[in-house]
Structure formats: structure tokens, C-alpha cells
Structure 1
């Protein structure tokens, strides 16, 4: 099973990252979505959580129901384990990975956002994964995401970064 991991789109998703979603079985968005159009661009199989910037003042008035439906935490049962999806702002930056491991010990991996920093911490279980920012705000080198290939026997994660800037 192939899963696209994204975060921190803040209302706009890079077109190349949205295109990757078409070749995936599911998409996990770790918050700061910013607009319903982002979720629509990612396709039907999207699991998304609310980020600290996902507030009614920042979403269009006609999208407040969609915003209200975003949970603070979600999970995906994948071959070989559970992927937990959170935004990450509830845990301080110092020690965040250790805190996420303590909070979700039964997960195979935890994907979070908030920092806009691409990170793959696979030193212990659960893995702690941050896809960086898939929009155009504070991308730290270009819009990025992670591709997770999950099978019963193994999980593999590949980082994707578009260093030539945002494409609408």
C-alpha cells in the first residue's frame, strides 16, 4: 500500500505533490490544511487532522463544516501496522519525537507537521515522520512530502522535495 504523507499546506498545495496523490492508495495530511480545495486536490482517500492554523478565521465561510470535521488526531490501519496522524503543536519542539513515541507506543509510525521541517526519525519504533511543508509557506528548501510504502513485512519511506519552488 502506498501512502502520501503531507502537512502544512496553509491553503495551497504544490501541484507536483497533488499529482503524486493520484498514484497512492491513501493520503495522510498532518494539519494546517488551510482550505477544502487542498483536500479535494488530494483525492477521495484523505485522512486529515486539524492544525493550529486551521481556525474559522483562516478558512472560507462556506468551508467551516469541512473544517469542523477535522479531528485533532487520526489513524490509518495499514499492512504491517498503524499510522497515527497528528499536527504536533501539542508537544514542545524540544523532545517532541520522544514525547510522540510515548504518546503512541502501539503505532508503527507517527506523522506530524507544524515545524515545516522535513524529518525521518527511524531510529526507534514508532517511527516519527514529518513531511515538511507541501504548500508555499516556509518550505525550507522547497515543497516536500513523504511517500510511505507499507506491506505486512516492511515499511519504506522516501522523501520528495521540489527545490525549484512552488508550482500552482
Structure 2
């Protein structure tokens, strides 16, 4: 059993309350737009970090992290990228891989909108954790925690923080 903390779009800012939310996990996954290497280092100092770079991330973060990351967690195949689209409207650069070799979990960020959608066509859980940072159009900072236990994905929790209380 592994407890996952999932965030995206920190844009170089981490709230103490989001960091507290992530204290109870075994791994942190970041779906891009980290913002700066210091943010990645702070997260990696807390827990093991898996991350992809996003469209605002500079050359240093692009050397630290890949654009796409595919891995197994317990018995679950995970595919993470920053700009991925949504079920039925996946980004062209990843569409073929998603449909030809569907993961059990597909994670992306970029939109700053938290969404969890079951893509029934390919039997895949699509997760966008929204934006954990305080830059962008979103009014609420969000993060997700969940458990992967063997083949099971369970106990999903959503954290919300008004940006005015960041």
C-alpha cells in the first residue's frame, strides 16, 4: 500500500497548509509547472518525488524531469504529463499512446481545474489535481491524496485552500 500526494501547477509557491496535507503521504507526484528547482528540492526533501516538467518550467527543471513519465505503482500503470487533455479530447502528442496502451491512471495538470474522470472507453482513471500554487486564474488551490493498494485505487481526498488564505 502506497499513499500518494498529487499536485500540479505550483509555479514556485507552496503553502504551508498544502505541505501539511502532503506530510501524510509516502510519495509526492507533481504534474508539471513546478516553477523553480527550489520547489522541487523542497518537495523531494519531504518525500520521494516523481514529477514531469510543464510549459512554464525552464531548462534546469527540464533537465531534472521528463516531459512524460510512465511507471508502475504497486500493480497500477501510471502515465503522467503536464498537458494531456481530457477523455475524448486527449492532446494529439499523447493520444496514440493513451489509446494503444492505456494506463490505469492518467495524470495531467495545466488547466488549473481539479477533475477526476473515469474514462470508460479505455478503463482509465483521469486525474488533474488542479493548481496547488497561487499564480493563475484559479480561485482555489487544490491537491489530492489517494491510496494505491495492489490493483486498487482508493481513499481519494481533495484539499482546497482559498488563494486569499495562501
Q: Same fold (TM over 0.5)?
A: yes
More strand by share: 2
Paired residue secondary structure (1:23)? coil
Cross-structure match for 1:60 = none
Q: 1:95 aligns with which of 78, 81, 89?
A: 89
Alpha-carbon distance in 1 for matches of 2:103, 2:32: 19
Tell me the CA shift for residue 138 of structure 1: 2.4
Paired residue secondary structure (1:162)? strand
Cross-structure match for 1:122 = 118
Cross-structure match for 1:31 = 32
- Whether contact under 8 Å (1:131, 1:145) holds in the other structure is yes
**2:17 is the counterpart of 1:16:** yes
Cross-structure match for 2:58 = 55
Alpha carbons of structure 1 residues 92 and 83: separation in structure 2 relative to 1, 3 Å: closer
Paired residue secondary structure (1:148)? strand
- Whether contact under 8 Å (2:113, 2:131) holds in the other structure is yes
Paired residue secondary structure (2:14)? coil
Cross-structure match for 1:161 = 160
Cross-structure match for 1:77 = 72
Count of paired positions: 158
Cross-structure match for 1:108 = 104
Calculate the aligned-residue CA RMSD, in Å.
2.7
Alpha-carbon distance in 1 for matches of 2:105, 2:117: 10
**2:133 is the counterpart of 1:135:** yes
Q: TM-score, normalised by structure 1?
A: 0.80
- Runs of 4+ aligned structure 1 residues displaced above 4 Å come to 91-94, 97-102
Task: Identify unmatched segments of 5+ residues in structure 2.
Answer: none
